[in-house]
Structure 1
Amino acid sequence: MKVKRIIDSGSTRIEVIEKIQFDPSKLDYYVDLFQSLRKSGYLIAEEFNSIFWYIKDEIEASPQKLAFDIEVYRELNLAFKAYTLIIRMSGVSKKTIAQNINLLKKIILESNAFRNIEAFEVYLHSLTKTTAYTTALALRSFFEFYPLPESDSCLQKLSMLEHPKNSNRSLPPFNQVFEFDDIINEFTKNEPEASPQKQYFYIVELWWYLTNIVPMRPNEFLRMRKNCIEYRNDGSYWMEIPRSKSHSQTLEKEIWYQWIQINYETVNIVNQYIENLNQHISDSLYLFPIELYDKFVKACNSKRIYTDVKFLNTTQLNDRIDRFYQEIVEQRYGVYGHRKIRGGDTRHFAIINMFLQGYNMLSISRMAGQTRIESPENYYSHMGRLVETYTYRLASLRMKEVNVEKQLSAGFFGLRRKVYDIGKIYDEEELIHMRDVEFGKCKDPHFPNNCIEDCRHCPNYIFFPPVNQFNDGITWLEDQSKAIAQKMNQQVKKMEIIFGKSTELNAEEVQNELKQASRNLQHYMDQRINIDMQLLENFIHTEASR
């Protein structure tokens, strides 16, 4: 197995590629590696022969459990331990190690340690394409480290597996996301500060408001320090975000901190939380200390495996989100059947939102704390769907005032989203005194000073056709709605093309082109909302009169 390592030589860092294979006669070498990792705190276990090991890093708070429990295949079990130590030293993440070990154990047990090739093949084909392919990658790596007599036969079967198609990250339906956003805003506004649910779900609120604005992975959000807000002499507000390299060829994970400018509303949200936190835990370095979790969750009978955990982990965050869905979304608001948003989804919402605002790839990458945005097409594919859902949702709420550009610049989600009034229904007496326009009425008292080219795009327009022109009027609205939808789609496609040009250069003309496309998109969204409001309002009234 070829392993990359980084060796520090004075002021120079040298990348070395070594070919390593397992040799059972050199077990002492692996025991020494084990002791080294154990001493440095990266591995927790009583001894090399222990069944359970726990590996940790600087990124996630809690250690990852590994079970070496296939003693019926003793030499394979030893090889697993040696393999774990080698790939851990080369920088493979603890999550990937645990996944690979579990996949390898399953196929070993199913195939009698690779001796039953037919059972080996049957098991592979019982897996999903993605799991089979991941298992194949783990097996190829392991066979390079520990060649077996059966390796060639197994590799031949692996070569026949289909490569799974690259699929975009699956996000919850956006109409459910917007509904969740409404509920969490309502909860923040109305829940008493001292209530147990407010205390328990404070972390969910902060996760939603911060990570929908600033692209952050859950482990970065959870690692935030309590003193993360800075006020500068020019009156600006800044927030410190912990960042970590997603890939590394060394055991140590580099943690660095990035300062991002934020607005007063965000500062206020964080400060309210810190004030509340200090009433319970005043000496914490972190925003989400582990003591906060222990305060609300009864400790298990077994003692904590690793007592130096300082902050909550991703699993604990997702547990809180699940509880919020159960106790608030479902039990309090009666909204069931939602596909739950996960801790890492909001980073994608934030990046998609920045795309739609016209930020170029380089700016988005910097904001996300990365040298580049991985697979930008994953984000492009969601843009059109989000825009379509967003315009429909605002129209369906019959907003009296709709300013899409302000909504976009503030972020699609979170407290900064403006609360709109629901437009009142006009009775016929009022309509009689309004000015007649095509298929309807104009409610603007300053007509024609504020007139625009097409009444269908005007917020002062009320669709109210004569009975004998009703069907023609509906067709007139629907045709324009479809035409604008096509223009919106064209702008999204145009932005995708421009993003491709802006991955390497931050050229001023590219940035200007992006901003203009973003403004055009927002303009068309605004127009379509006005038209669809008329269609939906008419539909509601028609259904109500039946």
Structure 2
Amino acid sequence: MVSTAAEKLYVERSGMAHIDNSGIEKAKKRFEAFKKNGVIGECRFEDNKWPMTDEYSKMNMRFYVNPFTYKRFYERMLGIDTDAFINCMKVYVVFALGENALGSLINIVRDIKHVIRTNFKDHDAFDNMISLKMPARTKEFFRKLPEPADEEEYKILLTEIDRIIEYQDDFYSSEPRELASFDSYLLFNDILNDYWKSDITEEERMFFYPLYLWWKITGVIPLRPREFILTPRKCLEKKKDGFYITLRRNKIKGSGRDITYKISGDYITVQYKIPDSLAENIQTYLDYTACYESTQLHTLFITDTHYRHWERKKSKINRYFTYTNMKCVLKYFYNDVISGKYHLKIIDDRNLKHLNKGEIQRLHLGDTRHLALINIIADGGTPVLAMMLAGHDDINMASHYYSNITSLIECRTYAQYRKVLQGEVTYTLSNTGNLPVNALSYISLCDGNRCYSEKYINRDYSDCRKVIGPKGEMGYCPCCRYYRKNKAEDYFKDDEVYKRNIMDDCKHLEKVISLARKMNGSSEDIMQTFLRIKSDAYDYEQFLKERSEKGGTSYGKTKEDGR
């Protein structure tokens, strides 16, 4: 019975038309191939724990299922015993190797076992299974099992899993990544730079060095945390036109390529030109840590200076500087530096968008990638970003990158204005006439609303000709930066026209990216939309600067509120 069930699952997964006795043997041969390649460690196919590695991480695939729970809820319905069910899981995993990350496969197995622990006919079955990480793949597994003994109960199980899938799709597709307030990112940047210039010990500086380089590199180049962690030791190269850094990029995400579970196979190396100052910082770290043994993965950051922070030596299991190590450094920076030395209160609630003076929200390592993308889009985009977005696996996820653009523009403009108040920098508004010279001058329109264009007031319609409506209407007032509804007290009271223009551009960006992914569009269309976003973002920044200069409201603050 074990062999028959496993063979049927293998046949369905591999698309074979007929079931034959070689099915389970082929699964075992595939197991041995991955074992020989080093992906699977020392174990047998029959074992219920398989040690596995993708070089970056070591993990265990655990197949054990409680036989009493399985027999109580599932054996009669599925028509196979516990050993047969476990064998089916193993075959499913073996033939999914090369298509999925090891972490994903472990989550699938955990989800399957979670379902087995649940009485799917209970009224609270949905609540018990709501935490499934990969419900669609869990359903796929159960659908590939041999024909069930009880078809009606089998349908009830699949219906419950379908409810989980629908719920999670609705929940996660509508929720962009929750970032901290942009004020917190700017404040974090100011504190890190100030701390780095201060008189700190070499040991302390080396402990926080990975965090400093993480902020400087991933805040500009959109890297995932793992990609940054895997930066090669020999990453710096000087060429005729300056310094270049070599970084690893994951080539599997959304690509449909086979997974090798080897860094050399699943990542590509890409070079980016960097400022001399950043290259100098990287070289300083390389020089200081040159006396230490390289990590097993030959990555940039070594572990010795990390564990010296607690006067400990690295152990044999510390193969390289890990994501967990990086999270630890970030945690200590918040506790020892931001809270301990700068006396700021750390807020963990990301739903708070307006912080009090002396407060800062906690950052996550993955935030900088999203910040870098938002910054690039707001600044006009690049061909590289156009290709990244055009190849994104989920267009809804791509749209989340620009969902916070207007907030970013407001915050960084206010930060600039705050420095002006403190006498740190000065800025000069352009004299191109983009904004009215006298914001109190307007003319009433036939619809009862107002136009603040000085040219229109003086019977010059050139500003009107620049405005095109959604259906090609020239002089379409609702899209004009000088148009205000009558309810506005003055020109600077209403900034919705700027926000609306930017968000309309972003919606158009989503459309042209979607077309490009379907081979019905071009990267030129994407770049043109980027330029429109940059232009509208510039107009909004100029409006906010002028409003601040005239003492108007800026992000809920006035001149007297400057910190």
Q: How far apart are 1:293 and its partner, in Å?
A: 5.0
Equivalent residue number for residue 243 of structure 2: 237
Query: Aligned AA for 1:210?
Result: I
Equivalent residue number for residue 399 of structure 1: 420
- Once the two structures are superposed, residues 452-488 of structure 1 have per-residue CA deviations (whole angstroms, 9 ceiling, x without a partner) of 852679xxxxxxxxxxxxxxxxxx9973333345324
**In structure 2, the residue corresponding to 1:118 is in which secondary structure?**
coil
| Cα RMSD, aligned residues only | 4.3
Q: How far apart are 1:41 and its partner, in Å?
A: 0.8
Q: Is residue 314–residue 343 contact of structure 1 (8 Å, CA) maintained in 2?
A: no
Is 2:213 aligned against 1:206?
yes
Q: Is residue 304–residue 313 contact of structure 2 (8 Å, CA) maintained in 1?
A: no
Q: Is residue 4–residue 249 contact of structure 1 (8 Å, CA) maintained in 2?
A: no
Equivalent residue number for residue 176 of structure 2: 168
Is 2:144 aligned against 1:123?
no
**In structure 1, the residue corresponding to 2:180 is in which secondary structure?**
coil
Q: Distance in 2 between matches of 1:29 and 1:281?
A: 43
After TM superposition, the structure 1 = structure 2 runs for residues 299-338 of structure 1, keeping only pairs within 5 Å, are: 304=317, 309=319, 311-335=320-344, 336-338=346-348
- Once the two structures are superposed, residues 337-396 of structure 1 have per-residue CA deviations (whole angstroms, 9 ceiling, x without a partner) of 145322222111111111001115x43045x5984474221112121222233334444x
Deviates more, 1:165-174 or 1:477-486: 477-486
Is 2:157 aligned against 1:154?
yes
- Percentage identity across paired residues of the two chains: 16
**In structure 2, the residue corresponding to 1:225 is in which secondary structure?**
coil
Structure number with higher relative contact order (C-alpha < 8 Å, ≥ 6 residues apart):
1
Equivalent residue number for residue 464 of structure 2: none
Tell me: CA distance 1:257–1:398, structure 2 relative to 1, closer, same or farther (3 Å): closer
Tell me: CA distance 1:248–1:230, structure 2 relative to 1, closer, same or farther (3 Å): same
Query: Aligned AA for 1:501?
Result: V
- Once the two structures are superposed, residues 240-263 of structure 1 have per-residue CA deviations (whole angstroms, 9 ceiling, x without a partner) of 221222144534143221122222
- Once the two structures are superposed, residues 279-306 of structure 1 have per-residue CA deviations (whole angstroms, 9 ceiling, x without a partner) of 44468832124555555575799x73xx
After TM superposition, the structure 1 = structure 2 runs for residues 12-91 of structure 1, keeping only pairs within 5 Å, are: 18-19=15-16, 28-57=25-54, 61-72=56-67, 74-75=82-83, 76-88=85-97, 90-91=98-99
Q: Distance in 2 between matches of 1:289 and 1:492?
A: 44
Q: Distance in 2 between matches of 1:251 and 1:3?
A: 20
Equivalent residue number for residue 286 of structure 1: 299
Deviates more, 1:206-215 or 1:177-186: 177-186
**In structure 1, the residue corresponding to 2:124 is in which secondary structure?**
helix
Structure 2 unaligned segments of length 5 or more: list them: 1-7, 71-81, 349-360, 441-486
Deviates more, 1:67-76 or 1:223-232: 67-76
Tell me: CA distance 1:509–1:146, structure 2 relative to 1, closer, same or farther (3 Å): closer
Tell me: CA distance 1:79–1:22, structure 2 relative to 1, closer, same or farther (3 Å): farther
- Once the two structures are superposed, residues 368-426 of structure 1 have per-residue CA deviations (whole angstroms, 9 ceiling, x without a partner) of 5984474221112121222233334444x35249xxxxxxxxxxxxxxxxxx7189xxx
After TM superposition, the structure 1 = structure 2 runs for residues 342-361 of structure 1, keeping only pairs within 5 Å, are: 342-359=364-381
Q: How far apart are 1:40 and its partner, in Å?
A: 1.2
Q: TM-score, normalization: structure 1?
A: 0.70
Q: Is residue 206–residue 305 contact of structure 2 (8 Å, CA) maintained in 1?
A: no
Query: Aligned AA for 1:138?
Result: T
Equivalent residue number for residue 486 of structure 1: 497
Q: Distance in 2 between matches of 1:299 and 1:145?
A: 50
Deviates more, 1:535-544 or 1:385-394: 535-544
Is 2:120 aligned against 1:109?
no
Q: How far apart are 1:50 and its partner, in Å?
A: 4.1
Tell me: CA distance 1:293–1:103, structure 2 relative to 1, closer, same or farther (3 Å): farther
Q: Distance in 2 between matches of 1:328 and 1:23?
A: 65
Q: Is residue 477–residue 535 contact of structure 1 (8 Å, CA) maintained in 2?
A: no
Equivalent residue number for residue 522 of structure 1: 538
Structure 1 unaligned segments of length 5 or more: list them: 6-15, 112-116, 402-419, 424-443, 458-475
Q: Is residue 249–residue 267 contact of structure 2 (8 Å, CA) maintained in 1?
A: yes
Q: Is residue 49–residue 60 contact of structure 2 (8 Å, CA) maintained in 1?
A: yes
Q: Is residue 107–residue 123 contact of structure 1 (8 Å, CA) maintained in 2?
A: no
Equivalent residue number for residue 479 of structure 2: none
Query: Aligned AA for 1:151?
Result: Y
Query: Aligned AA for 1:156?
Result: T
Equivalent residue number for residue 186 of structure 2: 178
Equivalent residue number for residue 139 of structure 1: 139
Q: Is residue 384–residue 489 contact of structure 1 (8 Å, CA) maintained in 2?
A: no
Equivalent residue number for residue 222 of structure 2: 215
Runs of 4+ more than 6 Å apart = 1-5, 20-26, 536-544
Q: Distance in 2 between matches of 1:170 and 1:91?
A: 29
Equivalent residue number for residue 114 of structure 1: none
Query: Aligned AA for 2:491?
Result: Q
Q: Is residue 39–residue 53 contact of structure 2 (8 Å, CA) maintained in 1?
A: yes
Q: Is residue 258–residue 369 contact of structure 1 (8 Å, CA) maintained in 2?
A: no
Equivalent residue number for residue 421 of structure 1: 424
Q: Is residue 215–residue 368 contact of structure 2 (8 Å, CA) maintained in 1?
A: yes
**In structure 2, the residue corresponding to 1:286 is in which secondary structure?**
coil
Q: Is residue 2–residue 18 contact of structure 1 (8 Å, CA) maintained in 2?
A: no
Tell me: CA distance 1:487–1:39, structure 2 relative to 1, closer, same or farther (3 Å): same
Q: Which of 89, 105, 108 is 1:100 aligned to?
A: 108
Q: How far apart are 1:96 and its partner, in Å?
A: 1.0
Q: Distance in 2 between matches of 1:346 and 1:539?
A: 26
Query: Aligned AA for 2:369?
Result: R
Q: Distance in 1 between matches of 2:390 and 2:533?
A: 25
Q: Distance in 1 between matches of 2:60 and 2:18?
A: 25
Equivalent residue number for residue 257 of structure 1: 269
Q: Is residue 54–residue 63 contact of structure 1 (8 Å, CA) maintained in 2?
A: yes
Tell me: CA distance 1:477–1:266, structure 2 relative to 1, closer, same or farther (3 Å): farther
Query: Aligned AA for 1:483?
Result: D
Q: Is residue 45–residue 54 contact of structure 1 (8 Å, CA) maintained in 2?
A: yes
Q: Is residue 42–residue 56 contact of structure 1 (8 Å, CA) maintained in 2?
A: yes
Q: How far apart are 1:31 and its partner, in Å?
A: 3.9
Equivalent residue number for residue 356 of structure 2: none
Q: TM-score, normalization: structure 2?
A: 0.68
Q: Distance in 1 between matches of 2:413 and 2:292?
A: 43
